[in-house]
């Protein structure tokens, strides 16, 4: 029996799951008293909870859907949609204790102490914008993924592909001849009007549930829910793989890789980890540099690193929660490759963004489909709840209590935090509806916004000369570079042809002598061809350029802005440095003079105003271990693809 197109068992599982999550939020309510209880859970959590919190807060449907969508389109290189953070992960081992030793409730407290009032307000404003867009992208990805799993997504017609090109075209883009029978999954799709109704219903329902339990229990509810959801995501991420490999059309992993090798062309190599167009090696390396920098701007970083009992729990949770995500990403990519083989063998086609939901509906029984559906909703809820609680905390602690109601007590601040959370989620829901046709654009904007805020944060930790002027110079120049490369620079193919700079014949582009500069920039990967919102070809800045230029101008803006303005007070900078290099539990050292607390012989780098202490054995051994794990995971994936 089906209800609204879903087997009744799916509805039972989803309803029972949400009842359990709401009960967990209610149970956590009595422990979320006071600002520290609501925002940091009274720093009571051990390693397992912190690992799952870091995993759950950093994982949402956009990850699995993005990896599977990109993999179905271009092969194994789609794994870098999530693995772009891979080689930033070892730095998490070093970042976690620094964040905990700041002894702050929010990252805005760090900006207040290090740079002053104006820089703090700028950080809160920019972080709120960035994380509201992040929440919108999460809500949008959750709704779209659920639509695919429920068969309620919009189905659009694709013109048949020429027979001569069919074998060389990815299954995600191949259209069957009109006389062939449409695949079964497409029959469960809906026209646009009905699909939009389902989208709005799913979006509002999901938002309401995670908002309720976050409102009740603050970060305690979010962390406890992440523990349950994290286990579900890990199990269900791999559960569909054996079922897919067992399909007669697939015939096991060796047969799958053989099929993908046969189907590969010069343009699309399905078994290559590096794609020359979307994820070349240079872009991957740049993203791995950018990831730990952008992480330093995340408002929820304080809860991910600081809600544990000690520094050890924060380090283990933040680092290995993300290692778990890297492992799960391998499962998502493998599932996508196997499903791609199935599509090749059956001659069916699938919208790339619906590949994950399509595979789940085909491979899992109704009970497991219900668990997966609940898991997808849970992943979005865990990320949204963590963002909502921490970003709302920025406003209540750094704006409301400091500048609006300095005499407000803890209960009043918690109440304001909850109300601010409601406003943020409302704004994010509106943004999700506005951006409903551009999930990738919303995610890209969020990542870039947080990365150039992270530059200022990193420079404040590493460079003594960094001040408020540097923060403004960094963020303003990086933001301008991002807007220029992401939203301003671009030429339509039609416009270039009309201007006499380009000729197009039989799909081949030829630059005229007058366009030598554009030709060279395109050859060197600075510019790249893409599609606009209506499917027309446009020449835009490449992914490498959009990432590299804001990073470079941000660092330069921070240096120039700091050098052109007043030097920060030495005693304030020294107090901050003593805090971040003094472990939790050794607070007596903070009263010592600077040179006694941080002896010169223990300093690693002081040239040019930089300040870096020699890492402890725990720091460098942990860093090297995670680096080895990262290389090991890449090596394992390469070995699997070579079978």
Burial 437-470 (b: 16+ CB within 10 A, else e): eebbebbbbbbbbbbbbbbbbbbbbebbbbbbbb
Contact 70/443 with Cβ under 8 angstroms?
Answer: no
**pLDDT on residue 220:** 47
- The phi-psi region of residue 4 (left if phi > 0; otherwise alpha if psi is between -120 and 50; otherwise beta) is left
Sorted by where each begins, the domain ranges of the chain are: 2-463, 467-567
pTM to 2 decimals? Answer: 0.82
**Do the Cβ atoms of 299 and 107 come closer than 8 Å?**
yes
Q: 2-463 in CATH: which number?
A: 1.20.1730.10
Q: Which residue has the tokens 């920019």?
A: 126
Task: Point out the residues of the chain with pLDDT beneath 70.
Answer: 1-6, 18, 21-46, 49, 52-54, 56-59, 153-190, 192, 209-234, 236-237, 303, 306-308, 349-351, 378-386, 389, 438, 440, 533-534
* Per-residue pLDDT tens digits for 201-222: 888 887 776 666 555 544 445 5
Give 52-61 pLDDT, tens digit per residue.
Answer: 666 766 667 7
Judge whether 477 and 556 are in contact, CB under 8 Å.
yes
Q: Taking the CA atoms of the chain, what radius of gyration do you get in angstroms?
A: 25
How much is the pLDDT for 637?
Answer: 95
pLDDT confidence of residue 383: 65
The DSSP call for residue 565 is: S
Hey, what CATH class is 467-567 in? mainly alpha
Q: How high is the pLDDT of residue 294?
A: 84
φ, ψ (nearest 5 deg) of residue 438:
-145, 70
Q: CB–CB of 11/377 below 8 Å?
A: no
Q: What is the pLDDT of residue 364?
A: 83
Q: Cβ of 405: how many Cβ atoms within 10 Å?
A: 13
- Report pLDDT for 4: 61
Collapsing DSSP to helix, strand or coil, 279 comes out as strand
pLDDT of residue 49: 67
pLDDT value for 416: 83
Give pLDDT, residue 552: 95
Q: What digits encode the pLDDT tens for the residues 396-414? A: 777 888 888 888 887 787 7
Q: What is the pLDDT of residue 26?
A: 58
Residues 6 or more apart whose CB falls under 8 angstroms from that of 604 comprise 612, 613, 614, 615
Tokens standing for residue 14: 């989803």
- Tens-place pLDDT, residues 117-175: 899 999 988 988 888 888 888 887 777 777 777 777 665 443 433 333 444 444 444 43
């Amino acid at each position: 029996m089906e209800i609204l197109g879903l087997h009744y068992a799916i509805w039972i599982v989803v309803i029972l799951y949400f009842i359990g999550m709401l009960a967990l939020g209610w149970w956590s309510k009595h422990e979320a008293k006071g600002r520290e209880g609501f925002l940091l859970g009274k720093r009571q959590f051990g390693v397992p909870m912190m690992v799952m919190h870091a995993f759950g807060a950093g994982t949402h449907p956009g990850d699995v859907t993005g990896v599977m969508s990109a993999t179905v389109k271009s092969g194994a290189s789609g794994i870098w949609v999530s693995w772009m953070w891979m080689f930033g992960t070892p730095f998490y081992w070093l970042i976690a204790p620094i964040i905990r030793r700041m002894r702050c409730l929010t990252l805005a407290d760090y900006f207040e102490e290090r740079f002053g009032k104006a820089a703090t307000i700028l950080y809160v404003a920019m972080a709120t914008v960035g994380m509201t867009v992040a929440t919108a992208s999460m809500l949008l990805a959750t709704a779209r993924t659920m639509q695919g799993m429920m068969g309620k997504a919009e189905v659009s017609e694709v013109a048949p592909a020429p027979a001569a090109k069919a074998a060389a075209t990815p299954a995600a883009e191949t259209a069957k001849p009109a006389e062939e029978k449409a695949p079964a999954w497409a029959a469960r799709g809906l026209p646009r009007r009905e699909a939009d109704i389902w989208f709005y219903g799913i979006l509002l329902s999901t938002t309401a549930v995670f908002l309720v339990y976050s409102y009740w229990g603050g970060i305690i509810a979010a962390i406890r829910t992440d523990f349950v959801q994290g286990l579900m995501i890990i199990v269900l991420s791999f559960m569909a793989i054996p079922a897919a490999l067992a399909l007669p059309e697939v015939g096991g992993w060796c047969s799958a890789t053989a099929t993908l090798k046969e189907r590969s062309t010069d343009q699309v190599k399905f078994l290559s980890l590096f794609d020359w167009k979307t994820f070349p090696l240079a872009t991957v390396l740049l993203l791995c540099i950018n990831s730990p920098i952008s992480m330093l701007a995340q408002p929820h970083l304080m809860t991910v690193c600081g809600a544990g009992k000690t520094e050890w729990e924060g380090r283990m949770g933040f680092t290995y929660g993300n290692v778990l995500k890297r492992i799960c990403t391998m499962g998502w990519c493998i599932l996508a490759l196997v499903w791609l083989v199935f599509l090749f063998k059956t001659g069916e086609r699938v919208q790339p963004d619906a590949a994950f939901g399509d595979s789940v509906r085909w491979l899992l029984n109704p009970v497991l489909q219900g668990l997966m559906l609940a898991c997808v909703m849970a992943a979005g809820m865990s990320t949204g709840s963590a963002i909502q609680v921490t970003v709302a905390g920025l406003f209540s602690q750094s704006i409301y209590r400091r500048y609006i109601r300095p005499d407000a007590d803890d209960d009043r601040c918690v109440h304001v935090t909850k109300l601010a959370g409601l406003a943020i989620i409302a704004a994010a829901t509106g943004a999700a509806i506005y951006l409903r046709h551009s999930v990738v654009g919303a995610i890209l904007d969020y990542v870039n916004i947080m990365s150039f805020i992270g530059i200022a944060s990193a420079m404040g930790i590493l460079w003594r000369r960094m001040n408020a002027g540097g923060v403004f110079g960094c963020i303003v120049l990086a933001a301008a570079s991002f807007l220029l490369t992401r939203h301003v620079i671009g030429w339509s193919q039609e416009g270039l042809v009309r201007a006499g700079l380009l000729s197009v014949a039989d799909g081949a582009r030829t630059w005229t002598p007058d366009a030598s500069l554009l030709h060279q920039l395109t050859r060197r990967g600075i510019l790249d061809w893409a599609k606009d919102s209506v499917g027309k070809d446009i020449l835009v800045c490449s992914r490498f350029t959009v990432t590299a230029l804001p990073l470079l101008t941000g660092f330069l803006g921070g240096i120039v802005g700091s050098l052109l303005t007043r030097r920060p007070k030495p005693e304030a900078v020294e107090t901050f440095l003593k805090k971040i290099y003094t472990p939790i539990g050794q607070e007596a050292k903070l009263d010592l003079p600077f040179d006694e607390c941080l002896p010169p012989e223990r300093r690693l780098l002081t040239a040019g105003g930089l300040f870096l202490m020699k890492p402890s054995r725990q720091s460098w051994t942990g860093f090297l271990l995670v680096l080895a794990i990262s290389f090991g995971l890449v090596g394992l994936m390469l070995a699997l693809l070579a079978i």
